[in-house]
Structure 1
Amino acid sequence: MIVPMKKAHLVVLKEDQERLLQSLQKHSVLMLIKTGDNEDHQAIDGQVLNRIEKSIANLEKYREEKNNEIIVNYEEFIQEDPRRQKYLEETERINDTILRLQNNNQSIQEELDALAPWKGLDIKLSDLSSPRYAKLHIGFIEARKLSEVEKAIESQNGDMTVVGQKDYSLAILYAVYYQDDETLLNELKNLGFEEYQLPTVDAYAKDLIFEKETLLQNNKQEIERLEENLKELASNIEELLVLNDQLNSQLELVEAKVSNITTYATCYIEGWVRSDEVDQLNEAIKEATDVYDLAITDPSPEEIPPTVTKNNDFTASFEVITDMFSKPNPNEVDPNPIMSIWYWILFGIMMGDSGYGLLMMIASHLFIKYKKPKGGTLRIIKIFYYSGITTIIWGILFGSFFGYDPVNLIGRLFGKNNWGFALIAPMDDPLSMLILSLAIGVLHIISGLIMKAARNFVDKEYFAIFADQVSWILILAGICLFVLPPTKSIGMIMVIVGAVTVVLTAGRHKKNLFGKITGGILGLYDIANYMSDILSYSRILALALSTAVIGMVMNMLAGMVAGSVIGFILAAVIFVVGHVFNIAMGLLSAYVHDSRLQYVEFFGKFYDGGGYEFKPLSLKLKYIDEVKTSSLTQTN
Structure 2
Amino acid sequence: MAIVKMNKFTLLAFESQKYSLLEKLQNFENVEFAYLLDDEETSFNELKRNSESIEISEIEGELSKIKFGIDLLSEYSTKVGMIKSLKEGKKDVSYETLSEMVSKSNWRDIYAQLKEKENLINKNKSEISKLLSNIEELLPWANLDTPLLGLNSLKSSISFLGVIPQVFMESVRNELHESFQGYYAEVISENTREANLLMIFHKEEEELANALLKKYSFSKASLNYEGVPKEIIKGYKEKIDELKQSNNTVTGEIKNYAIHLEEFKMVYEYYENKLIRLKSMEKFLKSDKIIAMEGHYPSKSHDKFMEVLHHTLGEDYYIEFSEAEGDDAPTLLENNSVFSAFEPITAMYSIPRYKEIDPTPLFAPFYILFFGMMLSDAGYGILMLLATGFALSRFNLDKDMRKTVKMFLYLSVSTIVWGVLYGSYFGGAIKIPPVWMTPESDVGLLMLVSIAMGLIQIFVGLGIKAYILIRDGKPLAAFLDAGLWYFTLTGSIIWAVSALGSGESLNLSPQIVRVAGIITVISMILIILTHGRGEKSIGAKLGTGFYSLYGITGYVGDLVSYTRLAALGLATGFIGSAFNIMVGMLGKSIFAIIFAVIIFTFGHIFNLLINALGSYVHTSRLQYLEYFGKFYEGGGKAFEPLKFTSKYYNISKNNK
* TM-score (norm: length of structure 2): 0.80
Distance in 1 separating the partners of 2:512 and 2:273: 62
Distance in 2 separating the partners of 1:518 and 1:172: 89
1:451 deviates by 2.3
Match of 1:602 in 2: 627
Match of 1:332 in 2: 356
Residues 22-81 of structure 1, C-alpha deviation per residue, up to 9 Å, x if partnerless?
211121121112225748345454344344334433333333244451322211223443
Change beyond 3 A, Cα 1:151–1:365:
farther
**Could you say what the CA RMSD is over the residues aligned between the two structures, in angstroms?**
4.0
- More divergent stretch after superposition (157-166 vs 427-436): 157-166
One-letter amino acid of the counterpart of residue 64, structure 1? T
1:598 deviates by 1.1
Residue 330 of structure 1: SS of its match in structure 2? coil
Match of 1:416 in 2: none
Residues 519-568 of structure 1, C-alpha deviation per residue, up to 9 Å, x if partnerless?
98986655333222211212333433444444445555666677777776
Residue 225 of structure 1: SS of its match in structure 2? helix
1:147 deviates by 6.1
Distance in 2 separating the partners of 1:194 and 1:363: 68
- Whether the aligned pair in 2 keeps the contact of 1:357 and 1:392 (CA below 8 Å) is yes
Distance in 1 separating the partners of 2:18 and 2:68: 34
Match of 2:264 in 1: 240
- Whether the aligned pair in 2 keeps the contact of 1:138 and 1:174 (CA below 8 Å) is yes
Change beyond 3 A, Cα 1:191–1:468:
same
- More divergent stretch after superposition (571-580 vs 123-132): 571-580
Distance in 2 separating the partners of 1:64 and 1:334: 46
Asked if 1:105 is matched to 2:128, the reply is yes
- Whether the aligned pair in 1 keeps the contact of 2:22 and 2:277 (CA below 8 Å) is yes
Residues 312-367 of structure 1, C-alpha deviation per residue, up to 9 Å, x if partnerless?
34322322221122111221221101212222322233333444445555666778
Asked if 1:276 is matched to 2:320, the reply is no
- Whether the aligned pair in 2 keeps the contact of 1:472 and 1:498 (CA below 8 Å) is no
Asked if 1:436 is matched to 2:449, the reply is yes
Distance in 2 separating the partners of 1:549 and 1:112: 62
- Whether the aligned pair in 1 keeps the contact of 2:461 and 2:631 (CA below 8 Å) is yes
1:245 deviates by 3.0
Distance in 1 separating the partners of 2:338 and 2:71: 34
1:430 deviates by 3.0
Residue 61 of structure 1: SS of its match in structure 2? helix
Match of 2:12 in 1: 11
Residue 632 of structure 2: SS of its match in structure 1? coil
Match of 2:220 in 1: 195
Asked if 1:71 is matched to 2:92, the reply is yes
Match of 2:459 in 1: 446
- Whether the aligned pair in 1 keeps the contact of 2:32 and 2:297 (CA below 8 Å) is yes
Residue 269 of structure 1: SS of its match in structure 2? strand
Residue 406 of structure 1: SS of its match in structure 2? coil
Alignment size in residue pairs: 618
- More divergent stretch after superposition (381-390 vs 472-481): 472-481
Residue 334 of structure 2: SS of its match in structure 1? coil
Change beyond 3 A, Cα 1:142–1:442:
same
Distance in 2 separating the partners of 1:383 and 1:567: 39
One-letter amino acid of the counterpart of residue 129, structure 1? N
Distance in 2 separating the partners of 1:569 and 1:149: 68
Q: Which residue among 288, 291, 296 is the counterpart of 1:267? A: 291
Match of 1:62 in 2: 76
- More divergent stretch after superposition (365-374 vs 70-79): 365-374
Change beyond 3 A, Cα 1:310–1:232:
farther
Change beyond 3 A, Cα 1:407–1:578:
closer
Distance in 2 separating the partners of 1:561 and 1:191: 68
Asked if 1:87 is matched to 2:110, the reply is yes
Residue 488 of structure 1: SS of its match in structure 2? coil
- Whether the aligned pair in 1 keeps the contact of 2:50 and 2:286 (CA below 8 Å) is no
Residue 230 of structure 1: SS of its match in structure 2? helix
Q: Which residue among 221, 246, 258 is the counterpart of 1:222? A: 246
Q: Which residue among 126, 147, 153 is the counterpart of 2:149? A: 126
Identity of aligned residues (%): 26
One-letter amino acid of the counterpart of residue 70, structure 1? K
Match of 1:210 in 2: 234
1:5 deviates by 0.7
1:83 deviates by 1.8
Match of 1:414 in 2: none
Distance in 2 separating the partners of 1:185 and 1:422: 97
- More divergent stretch after superposition (27-36 vs 263-272): 263-272
Residue 139 of structure 1: SS of its match in structure 2? strand
Residue 64 of structure 1: SS of its match in structure 2? coil
1:450 deviates by 2.8
1:278 deviates by 1.1
Change beyond 3 A, Cα 1:295–1:150:
same
1:122 deviates by 1.7
1:398 deviates by 3.8
Residue 236 of structure 1: SS of its match in structure 2? helix
- Whether the aligned pair in 2 keeps the contact of 1:162 and 1:171 (CA below 8 Å) is yes
Match of 2:278 in 1: 254
Match of 1:114 in 2: 137
The runs of 5 or more residues in structure 1 that have no matched partner are: 409-418
Change beyond 3 A, Cα 1:174–1:526:
closer
Change beyond 3 A, Cα 1:212–1:199:
same
Distance in 2 separating the partners of 1:379 and 1:242: 26
Distance in 2 separating the partners of 1:114 and 1:520: 82
1:151 deviates by 5.4
- Whether the aligned pair in 2 keeps the contact of 1:456 and 1:464 (CA below 8 Å) is yes
Q: Which residue among 322, 336, 340 is the counterpart of 1:312? A: 336
Distance in 2 separating the partners of 1:597 and 1:504: 29
1:6 deviates by 1.0
- Whether the aligned pair in 2 keeps the contact of 1:8 and 1:295 (CA below 8 Å) is yes
One-letter amino acid of the counterpart of residue 197, structure 1? S
- Whether the aligned pair in 2 keeps the contact of 1:327 and 1:610 (CA below 8 Å) is yes
1:24-63 correspondence runs (5 A): 24-35=25-36, 36=49, 38=51, 40-41=53-54, 42-63=56-77
Change beyond 3 A, Cα 1:18–1:37:
closer
Distance in 2 separating the partners of 1:341 and 1:389: 12
Distance in 1 separating the partners of 2:489 and 2:115: 68
Match of 1:415 in 2: none
